[in-house]
Each structure stands twice: as C-alpha cells, then as structure tokens.
Amino acid sequence: MTMAGNKRELEPGGLTAGKKIPRHVAIIMDGNGRWAKKRYLPRIAGHRAGMKTMRKIVEFANEIGVGILSLYAFSTENWKRPPREVDFLMRLPEEYLQRELPLLIEKNIVVSIMGEPAGLPARTQKAIDTALEKTRGNTGMILNFAFNYGGRTEIIHAVKTLCSEIVYGHLHVDEITEDMFGKYLYSGGMPDPDLLIRPSGELRISNFLLWQLAYTELWFTDVLWPDFEKEHFWEAVLEYQQRERRFGGVSKF
C-alpha cells in the first residue's frame, strides 16, 4: 500500500512532492445495484452503501487538495428505473445534505450542481438550493453533483441558449469559439476534468461530460462503487501523475 491516509507522505519531500494533484476529478459512481445483488440485498441497500463511499471520497479528495470533484449520481436515463427506486434515490440528496452540510461548510467546500433541476421533487430542489446558498461564499473545493444530467442534453441546452442570443442580436455566429461554447455548459467556466474515474468494470463514458472529457485521462477499475476506498482513489491519482510525467512537458495532443 502506497498511501493509507498518511498525511506526512503528502507534505513537501513526500510522495507527491513536485507532482500535481489533478485539479478536477470526475467520478461515475457506478456498481451500487450490482453490489447489492451479489449480497442478495435490495438495490436500495446498494445506493446507501454507495452514499457512504461518497462521503469518504469527498473528504479524501478535499484532504489531498483536489480543486473540483464532479460526481455523477443520477442521469436523465435513470428515470426509467422502477418508480420505488427513483423515489428512494430522490430522497438521497436531501438526506445527504441534511447530514453533511454542516461538515461541508466547516471544510469550506462549495456545493454546485450540473443538470436540470426542473422536474425534481420540490423537497429535493429545496435541499439543493439551501446547500448552494449556504456554501456560495466558500473558497475551498467545489463539490459538483451531476444530477438529472445528460451530456447530450447539456450540449443541446447550450446550443439553444447560444441560438437565442444570436436571434436577439446579442451575438454573431463568427464569435462562437470552443472557449465561449464551454461557458454555456452547466460547468460554465470550470476547467475540464483532468481525471475521470469509473468503477465497476464498465468501460464507457455513458453520456457524462461529453464535451469536457475531450482530453481527460480515463481510469477504470472493476471494484464496485460501494467497495471503492481512498486507496483506489489514490491509485488513480498516482497513475495520473505517472502519465503526466511520461509526457514531461511535451504536448499530448
């Protein structure tokens, strides 16, 4: 084991000396249902275990100095799941925030959301609004939940906004650039992810951050999200640093 939560290794001269912690890490929190099935537990138990993992990983990412942590929790496609499961999932943001918000505030974390809040239950929206409002002034890690999110939907949403600006004469077609297009996405103005982590053995992007992942390092593991530990996160960071070093200042593209 290289890391085991030993803080000293992270200080100057230690393991990460001179190596960059990825500024923006994105995670697809997949494998909760499968984790439950393997144990003959209801899927709900898997989501609960997944939330516990999420709390640990948020804390760890914050400790090692990640700037932005983007978590994929619920996609637009997830609405097709059994209604009782959707119902349960919809209560999780509220439950999570009720429990964690004081800690997030104490750690100077900023809560942020990417996705379509419309169509969510009012209570869920309220809990999220409160969290956004109470952490708006913080200056630490940005904890960015992709919620009711779809990558293609996000791009279409940006295109529509752009088009209406053109129709209203506020913008000219020739002014559209990659940089400015990025500002119309939910992630508007955030730097793109440096590292994407996908657990549970699937080797796909699954409509997550389609535009933003153009140059991102991808890291996959067979470990299911509820079994995912700080050590796995650290392994992904080390692998990221090795890939960075291999390029050693030479452009990747």
Minimum separation from the CB atom of position 37 to ligand V0D (A)? 15
According to DSSP, the residues that pair with 218 across neighbouring strands are 196
The answer to whether 35 contacts ligand V0D (rule: CB under 6 A) is: no
Q: Which is nearer to ligand V0D, 133 or 175 (CB)?
A: 133
Q: Which regions of the chain does DSSP assign to beta strands (E)?
A: 24-28, 68-75, 110-114, 142-149, 195-198, 217-220
Minimum separation from the CB atom of position 198 to ligand V0D (A)? 13
Q: How far apart are CA 215 and CA 211, in angstroms?
A: 10
Distance of CA 190 to the CA centre of its chain: 12
Among 27, 57, 66, 113, binds ligand V0D (CB under 6 A): 113
The answer to whether 96 contacts ligand V0D (rule: CB under 6 A) is: yes
Candidates 103, 28, 101, 117; CA nearest to 70 is 28
The answer to whether 219 contacts ligand V0D (rule: CB under 6 A) is: no
Mark residues 135-174: x for contact with ligand V0D by CB under 6 A, - for none.
----------x-x---------------------------
What type of residue is 157?
Answer: H
* Per-residue tokens: 156: 């279409």
- 87 labelled catalytic: no
Q: Which is nearer to ligand V0D, 73 or 162 (CB)?
A: 73
Q: In the 8-state DSSP scheme, what is residue 156?
A: H
Pair 42, 89: CB distance under 8 Å: no
Give me the residues that bind ligand V0D (CB under 6 A), please: 29, 32, 47, 50-51, 54, 73-74, 89-90, 92-93, 96-97, 111, 113, 128, 131, 145, 147
